[in-house]
Amino acid sequence: MTPQIRGVDVSVPSDDRTPEGSPTDERPQLPPVVYVPTTDEPDVAARRVLLHQVADGRTALYTYSAIDRLHTWYLPDAPWLLCDVAALQRIHDQSPYDLLFLDVDPGLREDAEASS
């Protein structure tokens, strides 16, 4: 299922080849749900999704296909929200972002350079 998020680039780490090694022109696929880092208010309903500004000035939303990936690549014990594509669209409608990354390390951890 390809997300239909207006004005948003979807970036998924891959070599753009099928398992057989032939190039594909298909857009990367998002899993049915993703884990999205949030603020850590005690009231879950009050939490806000965390958006980041990347080096070129665009706004990015980092998402993760599994909770262990969020904790490994984003921050250990980061609070999160489970979102489907419709929820990602609602987030974009309320707080527009330019990029959506899946399973990408934004370099927030102090040990990020040592573990690379």
Per-residue pLDDT for 19 more than 90?
A: no
Per-residue pLDDT, 18: 47
CA dihedral 104, 107, 113, 116 (to 10 degrees): 0
Segment 59-86 shows an average pLDDT of 96
Asked if residue 7 belongs to a domain, the reply is no
Segment 55-82 shows an average pLDDT of 96
Asked if residue 10 belongs to a domain, the reply is no
* Residue 21's pLDDT band (cuts 50, 70, 90): low
Strand pairing class (80-84; 33-37): antiparallel
* 16-25, 63-72, 86-95: least confidently modelled range: 16-25
Asked if residue 116 belongs to a domain, the reply is no
The rounded mean pLDDT for the chain is 81
Per-residue pLDDT for 20 more than 70?
A: no
Asked if residue 53 belongs to a domain, the reply is yes
Q: What H or E segment, with its residue span, contains residue 113?
A: helix 112-115
Of 109 and 39, more confident: 39
Asked if residue 24 belongs to a domain, the reply is no
Asked if residue 50 belongs to a domain, the reply is yes
Which structural domain range is residue 46 located in? 31-106
Asked if residue 82 belongs to a domain, the reply is yes
- The domain total for the chain is 1
